Structure formats: C-alpha cells, structure tokens
Structure 1
Amino acid sequence: MMQESLLKRQIRVAPCPGTLMFGYAQHGQAQTVTILFNEMLELKVPLDHITFIGLITAYSHAGLVDEGSEILNTMETRYGVPLRMEHYACGVDLYGRAGQLDKAKELIESMPFEPDAMVWMTLLGACRIHGNMELASDVASHLFMAEPREHSTYVLLSSMYSGLGMWSDRAIVQRVMKNRGLNKVPGWSWIEMMNEVHSFNAEDRLHPRMDEIYEMLRILLQVAQRLSSSEDEEILMTISSGT
C-alpha cells in the first residue's frame, strides 16, 4: 500500500507520467511499471504512446511475454492509442528476447506500414543472441536494402559468421564492406573527472594527456601481472611509487 501511495503521488506531480514509467521500465522494474499503469487508469491520467513503450519494454526485460503481447494486441482497441513504429520494435524485442523469433518476424510482417531499420535491427540482434543464422541472413538482406551504408549491420553479421566458424561467409561480408568503403566505427568511452568529460576509444592517441595515461596503464599492468603470481600486499604500493 505504501508503494502504491508513493507511486500515485509521483503520477500526480510528474509532468509526463509515461516518461516516469519508461524510466522504471529501463531498470527492469516490471511490477512497479504495472502498478503505475493501473494507478494511471484509476486516476484517469491520459495515456500516450510513451506510456505503452514503457509498459511493453518493462515486460520485455522481465520476460513477461504474455503480458506484453496482451498490451500490443489491445492498446489500440481498448485504450485508443494507435501502434507506432516504436511499439512494433518493442514487440519484436519482447519476442526476440524470449527466443520466439518466428513470432517476432510474424509481427513485422503484420505491420500496416513498412518496417524501418530499427525494427529489423532489433530482430537481427535477437538472431545473434539465439544463434539463428538462417533468419539473420534474411533480416540482414532487408537492412542492406533499407540502409546499405549502415556499418553496424555488416559488423553484426560478420561477427555471427565468425562465432559459427563460417569463415567464407564472413569474408564475403567484409569484402562487401571494403568495396562500399565502409569501416567499423570504433566504440567510445566517457568519464567525468572534476567537472571535465574525457573521451577515449581503443588505442586512442589523441588525448592531450596521452603519455600520462599510458604510463599509468603500464604500471597497472605490471601490478596485475605481479599480483597474479604473488599475494604480497606490498605490490599494491607500486601504483603510488610508480615502480
């Protein structure tokens, strides 16, 4: 009762309750999202497309396929909110996470408008998780047509071929990437220190304090190597002494 009271108060003060629900959904709190949704219905809070994105996302992350499917099938007829591209993508993720790839593909095929790359990429990611190479190849063909210069499709497909030891197929994908002048975009990491944001990528040599960073990495590597063969706690002091 206390939780419901607190959530009801949050709904009353939140400028966009749907966004509040989505925040809980992103953190896997499906039960809290369900309570929020029921409280919104009780308080007659207007429901919008964000409300249902949050609801389906929560059920997807929690593996509650039946509950998520029920929302997909009734949100327009029962709640008067038409399905958008984002809802279909959430539905594909719902089925894909649960390994129900055939249902995910059927949902895409039932869409009243042309699925965009986001929808297909969601299914491709699910194919990778569950190792369905046959469906992945079919999905990739749609992505190649929709966004032929999107490097992530090629990278994901190449990675799947590698994982299955399909080296000739991997070579074909990489050759196509090369012929089209596509390169894998490196991933970036960010860290904030003393109100200043620092960004890095793999083998980065552009940071203004590069020499200091690599020197510290060298020291940490030495410490890690020595710790792996010794339990001497004094080794930890090498970080501060620089030896």
Structure 2
Amino acid sequence: MSNTTEHTVKAFDDDIGELRALVSEMGGLAETAIGDAIHALIRYDLETAARVVEQDDRIDELEAEVERHAVRLIALRAPLADDLREAVAAMKIATVIERIGDYAKNIAKRVPVFEHRVEIEPLSILPAMAQIVSEMVHNVLDAFAARDAEKAKEVIERDEAVDDFYNSLFRALLTYMMENSHNITQSTHLLFIAKNLERVGDHATNIAEMVHFAATGEYLDDRVDVSETFAPEPEEDS
C-alpha cells in the first residue's frame, strides 16, 4: 500500500471515528437526560428538571454536527458499501437520539405539575421502566460503536419488557382515575410520561435495526408497532 493510500485510509478511519464519537456523546446525554428526568419526577426536583430542559439544546447542536460531519465525509471520501451505510446510519441515528432527548425533556417539563401530588403507587414503577429504556439506549449505542449486529438484536428483544411495563401502568392508572376523580389530572400526566418512556424504547429498537443494517447490509423482519398510532409527539418549544 502506498503512502498516499495509507494516508487516505487513515484519514477516513479518523473521520468515521469522530462520527461515532459524536453519536456516542449524543446518546450519553440522552441516556442521562432520561435518568435525570425520572429522578426529578420522583423527588420533585425542579432544579434537575430545569437542567434537563436546558441541556436538550446541546443534543440538538450535536445532531446538526453529526449531519454536517457525515455529509462532508460522504462528499469528500466517497465511501462505498458498508462504510457508506455506516455514515448514513449515523445521521439517521442522530435524528432518533434527538427525539429521545425530546421525550426526556417532555418528562422534565411535567415535573412542576406534581407539586401537590397525592401518593400514586404506579409512580413507583416508572424508575424501573426508565432503567430498562436507558440501558437499551446505552447498549444499542455500544452496538453501533462496535458494529455488533447481534448486540443490536438483543436490544430489540428487550422492547417487550418495556411494553409490559407500559400496559401494567396503563391499567393501574386507569383504576386510580376510576376510583377517585381527584387522581385524574396527575394520573393523566403519569400516563403521558409512561408513554414517553415506551416511545424511547421503540426508538432504541429503531436504532438497533439501523445498526444491524449498517453492520450486515441486511434488513431485519418488519415489526408491527401498533403503539405508533397513539404515540404523543414531542412538544414544540414555546
């Protein structure tokens, strides 16, 4: 291999490495935001909730940086096959992570509603649900960094547990609302929070499918996601 070719390959590897690092940083921030938002909810910690909302701007900035970097890499390096798939996947994954950050922000924005909350037992289920979706985000980004298709498939398999959590919470909160009309407002907010977490799990599985395709060039079997029909979209900033 000539010196020029070696230099070109190293430059390309450096570009891909930087792209992975940016996506990883985005994912780490989104993962932290989920945990902090739930912590703020459980503890009624307005300071932490406000910080989650403010730090979402950094996730947005990183998404734009990933897109610029990936477009520049494709334009200048003209990657082929698996390298091109990885560059495109990075852009798509960054977009999904940005949405995950929005869901965490939405949860944080609802914290002030619980200032005079009554004790709602289903609230205790949310931290465990949040833990699973945070781990899914963490693991799928590890899979992307390692180009590990099998690890990506393992993330998809965990989504069923998140759906089970959501269905359990839905039934419990519906019961609370029927038993006492005073519980309706806060139970409704908790239901939206649970739905936001469920959507984070769905997005983690979407990333896993992108990782699998980037690594293998093969699509996984289509999954039917009926929850998409009822999914609350991230709120627009006012």
TM-score by length of 2: 0.25
Which structure's residues are more often helix, by fraction? 2
Specify which structure has the higher proportion of strand.
1
Q: State which structure, 1 or 2, has the greater radius of gyration over its C-alpha atoms.
A: 1
Larger relative contact order (Cα-Cα within 8 Å, sequence gap ≥ 6)? 2
TM-score if structure 1 supplies the norm length? Answer: 0.25
